Amino acid sequence: MTTPPILRIENLRVESRKSVLLDDVSITLAKGEVLGIIGESGAGKSTLALSSMLLMRPGCRVTAGSVELCGQPLIGLPQAALEQIRRTRVAYVAQSAAAAFNPFYRLETQITELPALSSRLGRTERHRMAAALFEELQLPDPETFGKRYPHQVSGGQLQRAMIAMALINKPELIIFDEPTTALDVTTQIEVLQLIRKIVREHDCAALYVSHDLAVVAQMADRVLVMRHGKMVEEGPTRQLVDSPQTEYARQLVSNRGHHGYAEHRGEDTPILDIRNVTAAYGAVTAVDNVSMAMAPGEVLALVGESGSGKTSLARCVAGLQTVRSGTITLQGAPLPPLVEQRSFEQRRLVQYIHQLPDLALNPRQTLREIIGRPLSFFHKLSGARREQRLAELMEAIELPVSYLDRYPSALSGGQKQRICIARSLAAEPKVLICDEITSALDPLVEESIVLLLSRLIRDENLAILFITHNLGLAARFSHNVAVMQHGKLAEFGPTAEVFETPQSAYARTLMEAVPQLDEGWLDSRRRA
């Protein structure tokens, strides 16, 4: 290579007061190249991406190594020069566009802020710049789009607007930090295609940070796998996907691969029967005439995009949301609409696990109190028998009994979700409602939770209503799938049938939008 690389990071070490965030990391990035960075949360992905412009979170500092951007060493530069480089050479696209935009200003104003600051631009000039970019990013009605406020556009549009903001200064390096994680699959594919196009046309270098290997495989030329702040493996994308060298990378790849469908072994008589259920918030109908049934020992995956009514339906089953019409029966007996009207036994038999374990566990109660409460509440257990049952539950969720005296803050995200599972198991339920319980977890942790649940279905003969937007997970884990769109049931049937031969147009679109590891998958997708 004759031209110097856009980015060269050598033996970088970043430390915070308590721990080492990056240890001996070296990357180079040539013009027009996309490097994917993949790893669990806390692996140092974002820290590394931000280090390329020497931007550190408070309390973190570089203790060794060098960072060179466009041939210019950054370490040791005065603050002003550093900021000048950040303004002109690098752009950053954050995960949550909604949090990155100021709700008080119009999109156009925010997007053109940088050039307006450096060279005094008039309003018409700024409008022209923004409109041209909106046009390029295929936003609807580019002339007037910029006049809107962030809350007036959809999540996917806002993410594209942020990419527009990144392009405004014609940067040489763009950092994409999980830019599609917060989007639905069908929106994600549009944004991914757009990012690909932008990077190719502008011929800039890009760092693409993600925890989704399939997305990275589609976006990047080379992939860097990180764990605990260290480089695990680096190589060309195809090589890494097809023949990973390290054990950790192998796990990541096999986790994404297809394992076939779960074997159906449920009984025939349904335990939970949902008939023509309609639920609404005021004038907005969230669930529209939906019917489905599930048998003991069966996992029913409820899939669909955000706003499709998955959670509303689950809350109807749990008794947190009133049903406007239709009936829900448990073991043949109709369930009263609200949990307050349900019998002791009915409340015990249906248990609900929330999406975010952080909010579902009281930070001021020990695990013993958290798991022990349903034991004493539903089963009137106390003393030695309660302790014995607590130990059994901890064993069932594969955590040491000594953890019982800890507070939730001393646990990791996956461990917290296990505690939530233990708490619902303590009631000895028949129906478990899992509302996106793995969406906040890393892929390998997610896998371990799903394995745990699979075992529990066998041992306890549970029926699980598994809400997820992760279609790959639904395919592996569930026996039946219900696809929802705009509150309606688009399709309902055995998992293999729904995934292999989807009948409805929407289910087909959804299945096709799930990122795959295969080469050229993204380019072969039709423009939506």
Residues interacting with other proteins, by CB under 8 A?
318-320, 339-340, 342, 344, 347, 351-352, 354, 356, 359-365, 373-374, 377-378, 405-407, 409-410, 423, 427
The residue (of 12 and 427) whose beta carbon lies closer to other proteins is 427
Spatial contact of 398 and 418, defined as CB atoms under 8 Å apart? yes
The residue (of 62 and 320) whose beta carbon lies closer to other proteins is 320
The residue (of 207 and 437) whose beta carbon lies closer to other proteins is 437
Helix (H, G, I), strand (E, B) or coil at 235: strand
Q: In the complex, what is the shortest distance from the CB of residue 46 to other proteins, in angstroms, rounded to a whole number?
A: 24
Q: In the complex, what is the shortest distance from the CB of residue 174 to other proteins, in angstroms, rounded to a whole number?
A: 37
Q: What are the Cα distances from residue 525, in Å, to 201, 392, 519, 520?
A: 19, 49, 12, 9
DSSP label of 504: S
The residue (of 9 and 286) whose beta carbon lies closer to other proteins is 286
Q: In the complex, what is the shortest distance from the CB of residue 285 to other proteins, in angstroms, rounded to a whole number?
A: 23
Q: In the complex, what is the shortest distance from the CB of residue 363 to other proteins, in angstroms, rounded to a whole number?
A: 6
Calculate ∠ Cα 354-260-223, nearest 5°: 75
- What are the residues whose beta carbons fall under 8 Å from the beta carbon of 352, sequence distance 6 or more? 314, 318, 320, 424, 433, 435
Q: In the complex, what is the shortest distance from the CB of residue 358 to other proteins, in angstroms, rounded to a whole number?
A: 9
Spatial contact of 38 and 226, defined as CB atoms under 8 Å apart? yes
The residue (of 276 and 362) whose beta carbon lies closer to other proteins is 362
Q: In the complex, what is the shortest distance from the CB of residue 353 to other proteins, in angstroms, rounded to a whole number?
A: 9
Is 493 buried (19+), middle (13-18) or exposed (0-12) by CB count in 10 A? middle
Is 122 buried (19+), middle (13-18) or exposed (0-12) by CB count in 10 A? exposed
- What are the residues whose beta carbons fall under 8 Å from the beta carbon of 386, sequence distance 6 or more? 372, 375, 376
Calculate ∠ Cα 206-210-213, nearest 5°: 110
The residue (of 366 and 509) whose beta carbon lies closer to other proteins is 366
Q: In the complex, what is the shortest distance from the CB of residue 428 to other proteins, in angstroms, rounded to a whole number?
A: 13
Spatial contact of 133 and 168, defined as CB atoms under 8 Å apart? yes
Q: In the complex, what is the shortest distance from the CB of residue 330 to other proteins, in angstroms, rounded to a whole number?
A: 14
Q: Which residue has the tokens 């469908």?
A: 261
Q: In the complex, what is the shortest distance from the CB of residue 318 to other proteins, in angstroms, rounded to a whole number?
A: 6
* Pairing outcome for strands 34-38 and 222-227: parallel
The residue (of 162 and 427) whose beta carbon lies closer to other proteins is 427
DSSP symbols for 330-370: ETTEEPPSSGGGS-HHHHHHEEEE-S-HHHHS-TTS-HHHH
Q: How far apart are CA 187 and CA 175, in angstroms?
A: 20
Helix (H, G, I), strand (E, B) or coil at 141: coil
Q: In the complex, what is the shortest distance from the CB of residue 335 to other proteins, in angstroms, rounded to a whole number?
A: 13
- What are the residues whose beta carbons fall under 8 Å from the beta carbon of 377, sequence distance 6 or more? none
The residue (of 365 and 448) whose beta carbon lies closer to other proteins is 365
The residue (of 202 and 373) whose beta carbon lies closer to other proteins is 373
Q: In the complex, what is the shortest distance from the CB of residue 405 to other proteins, in angstroms, rounded to a whole number?
A: 7
Q: How far apart are CA 248 and CA 517, in angstroms?
A: 17
Calculate ∠ Cα 137-141-142, nearest 5°: 50
Q: Which residue has the tokens 């290579």?
A: 1
Is 57 buried (19+), middle (13-18) or exposed (0-12) by CB count in 10 A? exposed
Q: In the complex, what is the shortest distance from the CB of residue 438 to other proteins, in angstroms, rounded to a whole number?
A: 16
Q: How far apart are CA 335 and CA 272, in angstroms?
A: 10
Q: What are the Cα distances from residue 302, in Å, to 26, 244, 392, 469, 493?
A: 43, 33, 30, 8, 11
Q: In the complex, what is the shortest distance from the CB of residue 457 to other proteins, in angstroms, rounded to a whole number?
A: 21
452, HSE (Cβ side, Cα atoms, 13 Å): 24
The residue (of 138 and 346) whose beta carbon lies closer to other proteins is 346
The residue (of 52 and 417) whose beta carbon lies closer to other proteins is 417
The residue (of 396 and 411) whose beta carbon lies closer to other proteins is 411
The residue (of 284 and 359) whose beta carbon lies closer to other proteins is 359
